[in-house]
Structure 1
Amino acid sequence: MDKAFALVKVEVDQKTDFATYFLKGEADYWWESKKPLEGEGVVTWDRFTELFLEKYFPRYMKNQMEINFFELKQGNLSLTDYEAKFNELTRFVPEQVDTDEKRAKRFQQGLKPWIRSRVAVFELTTYTAIVQKAMLIEGDIEASQKEKGPGSFPNRSNRRPGFQARTNENFRRTK
């Protein structure tokens, strides 16, 4: 709503009236029952947003979104999907990403370990630089995997059967 208000230059004292005009269904019923409890005066925009968020985005939901942010790892997500999820969750923890360097550091921490270790070498401090470098690395590895065939790096479980056993046996003989 704030973006729409800025676009059409709605004055602050008109924001509540404009916003409540567009409420539909249950939200409209909620406001019609809530408004009289606020007294006879004008309900300010700040007060309306406080009431609205209290009703439709309670504290426990915000807490859950914060937890989701802190637990977010790339895991099996593509880099594009990880970045989208990261950006979606950052709005719930603005103090954790209030500088480009903090945002970059947190994003880097959630990358797959094999991407994170390669990105870390560059000692990048901006979010955009880290995302771009990680995408280059992920793209390069995917291209290499296609050339080598399925099961190549970074999945190391594709070694030939008995490889580790033979290596250990050869090591013991040289002692």
Structure 2
Amino acid sequence: MEKAFNLVQVRDNFKTNNASYFLKIEANYWGESTRALEGEDPVPWAWITELFVEKYFPDCVHNQMEIEFLELKQGDKSVAENEAKFTELARFVPEYVRSESQKARMFQQGLKPEIRRGVLALQLKPYPFIVQAALVIEIDQKLAAREKADKKRKIDDVEETSGQGGSNKKSHKTVGRNKNKELRG
């Protein structure tokens, strides 16, 4: 909301009244009751925002977001999905991403080891370059895995058609045993 007020250059003494228009039902009721406590005097915007944060974003929620941010790992997510979650959580813990280098370092720590190694080897500094490099490495790894699977599938197909597959070996052994029985019998 603060961004919207800055965009249209709303003065502080009008922010409190305009904010109630944008708030959802429960938050709107809260805002109206808070303003009612102050009576006719305009409620200072800084005070309203402080109370709003205390009510809707208490310390326990902030602490949980901080823990989630610090423990964020890529896991099964794509680099793009991990970056989106990183950006979402970083808003709540600006103390960990004050500079581009801090932000880059925190993001790198959560990448899969094989992607992190590739990014670290490039020694990139700005956060956007690190994200881009991680995306490229991830795409390359997926292509390499697909090529490896295709190559294995082709080798398996060749073995089956050339008679070296497991079922053909078994039939040769069975025929050999039957011949031995006939010779003995």
TM-score normalised by the shorter chain: which range applies? 0.7 to 0.9
Counterparts of 1:24 and 1:112 in 2: how far apart (Å)? 39
Matches within 5 A, 1:4-43: 4-38=4-38, 41-43=41-43
Q: Which residue of 1 aligns with 2:117?
A: 117
Q: Write the letter of the residue equivalent to 2:70.
A: F
Greater Rg over alpha carbons, structure:
2
Q: Hey, what does 2:77 align to over in structure 1?
A: 77
- What are the superposed Cα offsets for residues 31-62 of structure 1, whole Å, 9 maximum, x if unpaired? 23222334653211111111111111111111
Alignment of structure 1 residues 46-65 onto 2, 5 Å? 46-65=46-65
* Counterpart secondary structure, 2:73: coil
C-alpha separation in 1, matches of 2:53 and 2:115: 38
- Cα-to-partner distance string for 1:73-94 (whole Å, 9 max, x where unaligned): 1111100000000000001110
Q: Which runs of 4+ in 1 moved over 4 A?
A: none
Whole-Å separation in 2 of the counterparts to 1:6 and 1:82: 30
Partners of 1:28 and 1:137 in 2: CA distance: 47
Report how far residue 103 of structure 1 moved.
Answer: 0.4
How many pairs are equivalent?
Answer: 151
- Alignment partners' CA distance in 1, 2:38 and 2:93: 30
1:142 matched to which residue of 2?
142
**Residue 172 (structure 1) aligns with:** none
Note if contact 2:20-2:32 (Cα within 8 Å) is conserved in structure 1: no
Aligned position for 1:90:
90
TM-score scaled by length of structure 2:
0.76
Q: 1:142 to 1:27 in 2, by over 3 A?
A: same
Q: 1:33, 1:7 → 2: CA distance?
A: 27
- Counterpart CA distance in 2 for 1:23 and 1:118 is 45
Residue 165 (structure 2) aligns with: none
Paired letter, 1:128: P
What's the offset of the Cα at 1:24? Answer: 4.4
Stretches of structure 2 that go unaligned for 5 or more consecutive residues are 153-185
Give TM-score scaled by structure 1 length.
0.80
Secondary structure at 1:9 match in 2? coil
The CA deviation at 1:29 is: 2.2
Paired residue for 1:167?
Answer: none
| 1:155-174 aligned within 5 A | none
Can you give the 5+ residue segments of structure 1 that lack an aligned partner in the other structure? 153-175
Fraction of identical pairs, as percent: 54
Question: How well do the aligned residues superpose, as a CA RMSD in angstroms?
Answer: 1.8
Q: Which has the higher helix share?
A: 2
Q: Which amino acid aligns with 2:119?
A: V
